[in-house]
């Protein structure tokens, strides 16, 4: 019973946050050229922005182009002893993703919790990683983007993570924090290899994002390389 009540209030909070975001978006006055183009409808997708290689400096651009899910990954209350006594502040990390190829993490500090969450969310949106998805599994070869196109590895602090292509229906074989990243990025089937099990949740998240980022950076075979050059 108690569990149900908590769940409901979380949903209500989410709904309220969504309404607030929409209200804020309605009042948006873009400050950058890119923002103006997005609001005017000249640019209609994140892929156009990625292709144009223009930096996104306004989080509203992201909100406008694609609905993002947000999740608090870490909340730390820090205490500093000053002459007048003790001073508290919050350090918050938020994961964002559109469940369709874009994922990001942001960390921010503030004297209060919710401003810290807002700042971290904004940072995460301005720090998105595009994830190239594919089906690198020789057991599957369906050609759709349900997994990673090839094995990728990433690291953060002592954490090392590798994602390996898996056939459709495998699911996200990973620990909870890494699962969140895969879910937010829209990668459905993947095997995971992890080292550094004693590290923090945040470092697992960052290592996972770092690994997913490699789907764009890793050398591809000449054939695929030529093909993607032709497309560009
Ligand atoms: Zn497949």
- Each residue of 74-86: pLDDT tens digit? 999 988 888 888 8
pLDDT recorded at residue 53: 83
Residues in contact with 192: Cβ distance below 8 Å, sequence separation at least 6, in sequence order: 161, 162, 163, 164, 172, 173, 174, 175, 178
Neighbour-count burial for 73-99, b at 16+ CB within 10 Å, e otherwise: bbeeeeeeeeeeeeeeebbbbbbbbbb
21 - beta bridge partners?
A: none
pLDDT recorded at residue 113: 94
Centre of ligand 1 to C-alpha 143, Å, is 6
Q: Mean pLDDT for the chain?
A: 88
Centre of ligand 1 to C-alpha 135, Å, is 4
Q: What pLDDT digit, counting tens, does each position of 39-53 carry?
A: 999 999 998 998 888
Centre of ligand 1 to C-alpha 44, Å, is 29
The confidence band for 221, taking pLDDT boundaries of 50, 70 and 90, is low
Alpha-carbon separation of residue 190 from 71, 80, 136, 142, 171 (angstroms)? 21, 42, 10, 14, 6
Domain 152-231 has CATH 3.30.230.10: yes
Centre of ligand 1 to C-alpha 168, Å, is 5
Centre of ligand 1 to C-alpha 171, Å, is 12
Neighbours of ion ligand 1 (CB under 5 A): 135, 140, 142, 168
12 - beta bridge partners?
A: none
Domain ranges of the chain: 1-65, 152-231
Measured between alpha carbons, how far apart are the two ends of the chain, in Å? 54
Centre of ligand 1 to C-alpha 148, Å, is 9
Centre of ligand 1 to C-alpha 136, Å, is 7
Arithmetic mean of pLDDT, 159-187:
96
Centre of ligand 1 to C-alpha 189, Å, is 9
Cα 61 from chain centroid (whole Å): 15
Centre of ligand 1 to C-alpha 145, Å, is 7
pTM of the model: 0.83
């Amino acid at each position: 019973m108690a569990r149900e009540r908590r769940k409901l209030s979380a949903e209500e909070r989410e709904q309220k946050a969504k309404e607030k975001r929409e209200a804020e978006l309605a009042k948006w006055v873009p400050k950058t050229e890119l923002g103006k183009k997005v609001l005017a409808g000249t640019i209609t997708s994140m892929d156009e922005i990625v292709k144009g290689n223009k930096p996104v400096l306004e989080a509203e651009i992201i909100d406008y182009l694609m609905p993002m899910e947000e999740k608090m990954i870490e909340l730390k209350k820090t205490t500093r002893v000053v002459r007048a006594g003790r001073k508290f502040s919050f350090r918050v990390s938020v994961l964002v993703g559109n469940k369709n190829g874009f994922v990001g993490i942001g960390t921010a500090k503030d004297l209060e919790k919710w401003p810290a969450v807002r700042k971290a969310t904004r940072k995460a949106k301005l720090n998105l990683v595009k994830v190239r998805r594919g089906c690198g599994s020789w057991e599957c070869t369906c050609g759709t983007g349900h997994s990673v196109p090839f094995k990728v590895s990433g690291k953060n602090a002592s954490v090392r993570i590798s994602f390996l292509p898996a056939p459709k229906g495998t699911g996200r074989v990973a620990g909870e924090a890494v699962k969140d990243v895969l879910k937010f990025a829209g990668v459905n089937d993947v095997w995971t290899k992890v080292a550094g099990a004693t590290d923090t949740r945040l470092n697992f998240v960052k290592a996972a994002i770092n690994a997913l980022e490699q789907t764009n950076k890793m050398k591809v075979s000449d054939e695929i390389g030529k093909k993607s050059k032709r497309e560009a």
